[in-house]
Structure 1
Amino acid sequence: MKTAVAKSGWLQETGVRFDAAYHLSEGRQARHLVESAPLGTVGLGEATKRIFYGGRAKRYYVDSPERGIPFMGSSDMLKADLSSIKYVSTKHTRDLEDSMLQAGWTLISRSGTIGNTAFTTKDFEGKAASEHIIRVVPNGKLPAGYLYAFLSSSFGYGLLTQGTFGAVIQHIEPDFVAEVPVPLLPEAQMQQIHADIEAASTLREQATQLLLDANNLFEEGNGLTYNESWLAPSENIDKAANVVRASDILVTSIKARNHSYRSTQIIREWHRKPGIILNEYLTEPFTNGTGGGYFKRIDDKNFRGPGMVSQSDLHRQNPGNYKRVKIIRATSKDYAQPEMVLFPSVGNAAGENEIFVQPTLAYKLYEGQLLSGDIGRFICNSKEDAAYLFTALRTKAGFRILRAMIYGTTLRRLNWQLIKDINIPIADQNLKNKVSKLVLRAFDFRHEANQLENKAIQAVETAISSWQK
C-alpha cells in the first residue's frame, strides 16, 4: 500500500482533487522531472493545432469497402496490420469527416485502457476512428516524431494516465492532455528523434505493401479463383443453409460451421492445385496448449521474471512490456523460434477484427521469447517454409478456412483433426521462394522499425532521467 501526506498546494494545482490515485501516481514524479528540463518546457497544446476526439454518432457497420470506410477503435490503432478492421457506412453514419485520420498525428487511447499511443503512417489515411481515441495534431513548433516519442515514453505515459477520472470506465480529456508539459531538448536531438520515428513509419508502410504483394503473388501464382461471396464477412450472402451428404460428414464433427458451404468450396479449390497437405508441411502435429511448460503470472511491477508473449501481444505494432511470469517448468517449444507460424488459438471468433486464428511469424519479432499456452504454433522446417505458410493462412481464403474449423462454445479453439489434411497450394518451388522472400523482408522492415522507434523513445527517457538530482 502506498501512502503520502498531501500538501495543500497539490490540491490547488489540481482543482481540489481528493482521489489518492492521482496524487500517488507516477505522474507526479514524472512532472517534477520534466519541469526541471534545463531548456524549459512547453504545454502540449502550444505545440499542436488541435487536440480532439471524433464526434459521437450511431455507427452503422457494413461488410464491404464499397459501402463504407475502415473504422478503428482504440485497440485497433495498436495493430501491425490494419486490413481486418470493421467498416462503417458512409451513407448512414453521421459526422464521419471529423473522425478521419491523417498521417503524422499521435493517437492516444482515452478510455478503458488509457495512455496507449500510436503514430499515424500513410496506412491510417482514409480510415476513421472512434471517440475513444484522442488525436494530437502537431503545428510544427516541435517535431511531430519527437512529440510522439515523448508521449510514448514512461514519463509521457505517467503524465497522461495521471489525469484519469471515472469510477467504472476511466477517461482522460483533450483539455487535460493539452496541459501536459513537453520538455525541450537541443534542437538537433529532437530532430534526430523525429527522423527515427519518421524512418520507422516508412519501413512499416513498406512492410505493409510487401505483405500485400506476397498475398497477391500467392493467389495469382497458384491460379486460385474464388466466388466473391466465399470471402465475404457474412456466411449468408450466398447460402444461408447447406446440404451435406452423409459421405462428406467429417468423422470428428457434425457442427454446421465445420461444414459451411464457402469453406468447403475454398478447400476444394486449394485441393485442385499442386501442393502439400498441412500435416506433411509441418515438422509435427499442432496441439493446443504449451509445449509442456507451466508459468505463473506475477502482477508486480518490481518482479523481474521473464516476459511472456500473450495472444494480444502477437498483433501489436511494437510488441514489448510483456507480462512477467515465474517459470515453473519450460521446454524449447515454449519459446518462439524463427520456423514458427504463431496465432491466437483461443477466442470467441465473434467478428472480422478479432485476432483469433489470425497468423503472424515468430521471425525477428518474437524469436527467443516465452510464449503463452494460448498461442498456437505451426512448426515448419525453415523460416522460409514458415513465411510461405503464413501467407497462405493470412489470405482471406486461408482465414475463412481456419475460422470454420474450430470447436467450442464460449471459448473456441482450432480443431487440428479438421485442418491437418488441407492442401497448401504450391505451384512450384520458384513461387514459394519468391513469396517467402517478400514476407521475410517485410518482417525485417517491421523489426528495424521497432528498433528505430525504441531507440527514439529511449533517447527521450535517457535525457529526462539525467535531470534527476
Structure 2
Amino acid sequence: MKISKIKTRVFKSNGFRIDASFHLSDGVVVRRKIAASPYKIMKVGDAANQIFYGNRAKRVYVQKRENGIPFLSSSDILQADLENVKLASKKYTPCIEQMRLQEGWILISRSGTIGNTAWATKQHAQKLASEDVIRIDPNNILRAGFVYAYLSSSYGHSLLTQGTFGAVIQHIEPDFVASLPIPQFPAKFQEKVDNLIKESARLREEANRFLNEAVSEFEKCLNPECYKREFCTSTVSTKQILKKFNRLDSHYQIAQKEFVKRRKRGLRYEKIGPKAEKIFVGNRGKRLYSKEGVPFLSSSDMMLFNALRYSKNISVNTPSLKMMQVHKNEILISRSGTVGNSVLIGDLLNKKAVSEHALRLLLDEQKIKPSYVFAYLNTEEGRELLQSLAYGSVIVTLGEDFVADIDLPILDEQIQRKIIQKINEYVWASDSAAEKESLAISLVEKEIDGWKV
C-alpha cells in the first residue's frame, strides 16, 4: 500500500483529479520529483545526435561464424556473453549497416520487457541489433555516461516504462524517449558519473578479453573436430545405452559416442563427479519477496552483465533461504529453458540467492580448481557437451547425474595454472565492472532522492 500527501497546487495542475491511483503511480510521482529539480530541465533528445531504432528487414540466420554477424535481440544487449547469439547472414541479410551498433551508444529495449538499458561497449560495436532496440547517439551536451546512468536509475526506468498519466506502456518509440525530461546536473557531478560508467565499460571489455584468452588456451589443447556441428547418424550398442543411464534419445547417445570418438589422442580425461563435493539443485520452496532482503536471481538474471540490477529481493525469513544462497567459487549451470550457460561465483554474487533452475556444482578445490572447470564449460566442446546432456520434449532439463558423468580434459599443470589465472582475473574484472556501474546509478538516485517536492 502507498501513502502520500499531495499539495493543492498539484490537484489544480492535473484537472482536480483526486484518485490515488493517478497521483501515486510511479510515472506521475517521478515526473513530479524531476520537476522539483534545482537544475535546469532539458529533454533527452537535446542530449543526442539522434535517437532511432534499426531496420526491420527480413533476416536470414546461419550457423557458421565466418558466414554471419552476431545479431542481438532486446534481451541479448544485457548479457555478459555477447558472442553465443544468433548469426545473421552477411550475404542474404539486407540493410546490415542500418542495424549495426557503435561503441558509446545507449541501448534501450522498446518492446517485450521495455525500458532495460545497456551501454554499448567494444563487444557490442559492429554487431547487429533488432528494431526492438532503441539507439541513443549522445552528443555530449550532457556527459554520455551520465545520461546512461540517469535512464538506468529507478527514476529513469519509471519514465521509460510509464506514461504521463501513470499508465504502464507496452511499447516505446524514439520520439517518446526524446521527450523525456532530464536535469542538467552540475558538470563535476556529470563527470564523476561518466567516468564510472566508462571505467565499468573498460573493465567489462578487459573481463571478456581474459575469458576469451583462457578459453582459447584451453581449446588449443582440444580437437576442434570434437565439437564440429553437423548432421550425423550412428549405431549405438545396448551395452552403451545401459552404461549411459538407459537413455534412448539419439541426441544424447550419438553425441556422447562422437565426443569420445573425436577426442584428441593422448589427452587424459577424468569424470567431474569424483572431483565434486556436491552437485545439486537449490531449494524449490515458496519465496517471500520484499523490498529489502537478499537479492534473488533467476537462471536468466545470473547471465546478465550486471546480475543485480534487475534482480528481486527475498525476505530473510524465507524458508530454507540458506539452501538458495550460493557461495564464492561455486559454478552455476542453467538447467532448464536455455541449457548449458555457466557462471562462476565471485565476491559480487557471494551469498546471493539463486532459483532452482540453476544447477550448482561445488568442487573439491584440493582435487581441481573451479576456475579450470569453468573455463572448460565455456569452450565450444564444453558448451556442446552440456547441451547434449539435456532431456525433455517441451521444457528441456539438465540433471545432476549427467553433469557428474562429464569427462573433463586434464591438461598440463603449467597450462592449467595459466588458465586459472586468466579466469580469476575475468571474475574480478566482471565484478568490478558491475560494481562501478551500480555505484554510478546509485549516485544519480541519491541526488534525486534529496529533492523536495
- Provide TM-score, normalisation by structure 2: 0.89
User: What is aligned with 1:350?
Assistant: none
Could you tell me how far 1:361 is from its partner in structure 2?
0.6
Could you tell me how far 1:333 is from its partner in structure 2?
4.3
Could you tell me how far 1:419 is from its partner in structure 2?
4.2
State whether structure 2 residue 152 is matched by structure 1 residue 161. Answer: no
Q: Is the 2:28–2:164 contact (alpha carbons within 8 Å) kept by the matching residues of 1?
A: no
Structure 1 residues 331 and 465, CA gap change in structure 2 (3 angstroms): closer
Structure 2 residue runs of 5 or longer lacking an equivalent are: none
User: What is aligned with 1:382?
Assistant: 365
User: What is aligned with 1:15?
Assistant: none
- The SS at the match of 1:131 is coil
Larger displacement relative to structure 2 (330-339 or 154-163): 330-339
Structure 1 residues 21 and 180, CA gap change in structure 2 (3 angstroms): farther
- The SS at the match of 1:432 is helix
Q: Quote the Cα distance in structure 1 between the aligned partners of 2:396 and 2:254.
A: 17
Q: Quote the Cα distance in structure 2 between the aligned partners of 1:319 and 1:402.
A: 22
User: What is aligned with 1:252?
Assistant: 246
Q: Is the 2:335–2:399 contact (alpha carbons within 8 Å) kept by the matching residues of 1?
A: no
- The SS at the match of 1:103 is coil
Structure 1 residues 293 and 59, CA gap change in structure 2 (3 angstroms): closer
Could you tell me how far 1:265 is from its partner in structure 2?
2.6
Could you tell me how far 1:65 is from its partner in structure 2?
2.3
Q: Which amino acid aligns with 1:345?
A: R
| Aligned residue runs from structure 1 range 6-405, under 5 A | 10=14, 25-163=25-163, 170-220=170-220, 223-227=221-225, 230-232=227-229, 235-236=230-231, 239=232, 241-249=233-241, 250-261=244-255, 263-268=256-261, 269=263, 272-284=266-278, 286-287=279-280, 289-290=281-282, 292=283, 294-298=285-289, 303-320=291-308, 321-326=310-315, 327-330=317-320, 332-347=322-337, 354=338, 356-382=339-365, 385-405=369-389
Q: Quote the Cα distance in structure 2 between the aligned partners of 1:277 and 1:430.
A: 21
- The SS at the match of 1:134 is strand
- The SS at the match of 1:259 is helix
User: What is aligned with 1:16?
Assistant: none
Could you tell me how far 1:410 is from its partner in structure 2?
1.4
Larger displacement relative to structure 2 (109-118 or 423-432): 423-432
The Cα offsets for residues 372-408 of structure 1, whole Å up to 9 and x where unpaired, read as 1121001012397111111111111111111111222
The Cα offsets for residues 279-337 of structure 1, whole Å up to 9 and x where unpaired, read as 112113x23x32x5633243xxx643433221111101101142233554326443111
Larger displacement relative to structure 2 (266-275 or 399-408): 266-275
| Aligned residue runs from structure 1 range 426-437, under 5 A | 426-437=410-421
Q: Is the 1:204–1:449 contact (alpha carbons within 8 Å) kept by the matching residues of 2?
A: yes
Structure 1 residues 49 and 363, CA gap change in structure 2 (3 angstroms): same
The Cα offsets for residues 222-269 of structure 1, whole Å up to 9 and x where unpaired, read as x211228x333xx42xx2x222233322242111111134x4333451
- The SS at the match of 1:94 is coil
Q: Is the 1:338–1:382 contact (alpha carbons within 8 Å) kept by the matching residues of 2?
A: no
Q: Is the 1:293–1:329 contact (alpha carbons within 8 Å) kept by the matching residues of 2?
A: no
Q: Quote the Cα distance in structure 2 between the aligned partners of 1:93 and 1:345.
A: 33
State whether structure 2 residue 399 is matched by structure 1 residue 415. Answer: yes
Q: Quote the Cα distance in structure 1 between the aligned partners of 2:254 and 2:174.
A: 47
Q: Quote the Cα distance in structure 2 between the aligned partners of 1:388 and 1:124.
A: 27
Q: Is the 1:67–1:89 contact (alpha carbons within 8 Å) kept by the matching residues of 2?
A: yes
RMSD: 2.8
Percent of aligned positions that are identical: 33
The Cα offsets for residues 325-381 of structure 1, whole Å up to 9 and x where unpaired, read as 35543264431111310011112xxxxxx4x22111112231111121121001012
Q: Quote the Cα distance in structure 1 between the aligned partners of 2:404 and 2:265.
A: 13
Q: Quote the Cα distance in structure 2 between the aligned partners of 1:11 and 1:430.
A: 74
Larger displacement relative to structure 2 (209-218 or 312-321): 312-321
Could you tell me how far 1:9 is from its partner in structure 2?
5.0
User: What is aligned with 1:351?
Assistant: none
Structure 1 residues 407 and 297, CA gap change in structure 2 (3 angstroms): farther
- Provide TM-score, normalisation by structure 1: 0.87
Q: Quote the Cα distance in structure 1 between the aligned partners of 2:172 and 2:20.
A: 17
Structure 1 residue runs of 5 or longer lacking an equivalent are: 13-18, 348-353
1:444 counterpart (412, 423, 428): 428
Q: Which amino acid aligns with 2:82?
A: L
Structure 1 residues 137 and 395, CA gap change in structure 2 (3 angstroms): same
Could you tell me how far 1:464 is from its partner in structure 2?
1.3
- The SS at the match of 1:52 is strand
Structure 1 residues 23 and 135, CA gap change in structure 2 (3 angstroms): farther
- The SS at the match of 1:71 is strand
Could you tell me how far 1:459 is from its partner in structure 2?
1.1
- The SS at the match of 1:83 is coil
